[in-house]
Amino acid sequence: MTDLSASRSLAWSLLRLARPHQWAKGVFVMLGPLYHLADEPDTTWDLAWGTVVLPALLAACVFGLASSAGYVVNDIRDASRDRLHPRKCRRPIASGAVSAGQGLVFAAVLLAGAVALLFALDASVRWWVALCVAVYLLNVNLYSFGLKRVVVADVMCLAIGFVIRVIGGCAATYPAGVYPSTWILICTFFLAMFLAFGKRLGERRVMGDADAATSARAVQSAYTDEMLRMFVVVTAVGVLFTYAVYTQNQEQRFLVGFNLLWLTMIPATYAMLRCIVLVERGEYDDPTELALHDRAFQLAAAVFAALTVFAVVVAGLSA
């Protein structure tokens, strides 16, 4: 019975080590395909499922497994620092629930799963997605083994990882005519930097001061509160401005009395500003946790999605 309990405990710890909640970032893999479907409202469901939705979901799962492997390697390297963090000290490697050796084996299993899923994709796109994942993993390792300690470059490295996810989702669905538009790449880049700078500012609030935050993340010594606040605001403006330009460029398509897509600016702006408020208060030090637990933010995201669907449907009926 003791052995069974120990096995269950290890299995649960390994699941936590993979950080499945971070798979929510797979939405970035789906961005290009979803906006493509919005641009093609007459596409039948059967065709959309086979050529866009399923390949995009498979690509999201491939990136999810690959990113989980990256998190494992990063946790092994950061175990000593994580033990000084009020939340990260509970991570399986830092707490001792999983050994470094077990973590490395688990990372290899996760990568093997990602490779296996690649072969579920069509042969015409499989190697392009594989290339995107390989570049993503290279970027993750550049971050883990050095760039995480270089001011600003640490955040840009993380942002590039999100951009690669977007490109990977488009690569998986390229035969259906999906490609990464310039606006979606720019918006993703700014949004990812906003999230990363917000995380660094949130860590300072949660841990109490810059010295404590530096003990858990070395690059914090190169930042100041004022600098991080400025970066958070600048990148938030970048996201909203880029999206505003997109809605303006879509005016002819969504013009039904006025540009219906403009309505989505309201929940988008609220969600961005609420993130800043909650991070500044120290209620969250991880934007992913905020997105998964803050009801007001989730409501804003749901309203944004509903208004987007509404605008697409009404514009389609009026065409």
Give the contacts of 252 (CB within 8 A, at least 6 positions apart).
none
66 domain-assigned: yes
**Region of poorest pLDDT, from 17-31, 81-95, 129-143, 168-182:** 81-95
- For residues 128 and 188, state if they share a domain: no
CB 239 within 8 A of CB 272: yes
* pLDDT, position 2: 62
From 180, 202, 235, the end of a domain falls on 180
- For residues 173 and 193, state if they share a domain: no
**Segment 146-202, tens digit of pLDDT:** 888 899 999 999 999 999 999 999 999 999 889 888 999 999 999 999 999 988 888
2 domain-assigned: no
**Region of poorest pLDDT, from 8-12, 131-135, 257-261, 264-268:** 8-12
- For residues 190 and 312, state if they share a domain: yes
* Chain centre to alpha carbon of residue 32: 14
Helix (H) or strand (E) holding 268: helix 265-281
- For residues 170 and 194, state if they share a domain: no
Q: By residue range, what is the domain housing residue 91?
A: 11-180
pTM equals: 0.88
- For residues 233 and 106, state if they share a domain: no
- For residues 202 and 157, state if they share a domain: no
- For residues 230 and 158, state if they share a domain: no
CATH number at residue 50: 1.10.357.140
Q: Give the whole-number percent of the chain exceeding pLDDT 90.
A: 48
- For residues 171 and 45, state if they share a domain: yes
- For residues 174 and 33, state if they share a domain: yes
| Mean pLDDT for the chain overall | 88
From 180, 195, 215, the end of a domain falls on 180
- For residues 235 and 276, state if they share a domain: yes
Range 233-240 average pLDDT = 95
Query: Closest by alpha carbon to 158, among 171, 172, 141, 179?
Result: 141
* pLDDT, position 1: 43
Q: Which two tokens stand for residue 292?
A: 């998964």
- For residues 170 and 198, state if they share a domain: no
From 162, 180, 198, the end of a domain falls on 180
**Region of poorest pLDDT, from 25-34, 36-45, 220-229, 260-269:** 36-45
Count other C-beta atoms under 10 Å from residue 259's C-beta: 18
255 strand-pairing partners: 259
pLDDT category of residue 42 using cuts at 50, 70 and 90:
low
Amino acid at 177: G
Checking if the pLDDT of 238 tops 60, the result is yes
* pLDDT, position 173: 94
Give the contacts of 296 (CB within 8 A, at least 6 positions apart).
274
- For residues 86 and 158, state if they share a domain: yes
Q: What are phi and psi of 255, to 5 degrees?
A: -80, 105
4 domain-assigned: no
SS3 category, 96: coil
Higher pLDDT, 7 or 166: 166
**Region of poorest pLDDT, from 54-63, 74-83, 118-127, 149-158:** 74-83
How many structural domains does the chain have?
2
